[in-house]
Structure 1
């Protein structure tokens, strides 16, 4: 396993590739209400709140 953003493992929803710092990604996320807006380290927020995360290859 390579180095990732901040120790939260973020994987492509399609192929399962572990996404690392510098990788291009496409994220589908449902915008929450202002009261429930996620705040924190990006990789942890994406892993908890995104609907789908794709690596560049799978997003094309």
Structure 2
């Protein structure tokens, strides 16, 4: 009886650990995707700023 209960307890504890592990993995993927989004947005921003500079440059050459 005690043995069976301790086995159940171990399974329970292991399943809890497994859940925490899976959640931490999800969290890592989430954080990485957020980083990826910021990276992509900053790249877009750079291209945008460069294109604005290019336009000003072209306009100044025309004048």
- Structure 1 length-normalised TM: 0.15
More strand by share: 1
Report the structure number with the largest CA radius of gyration. Answer: 2
- Structure 2 length-normalised TM: 0.14
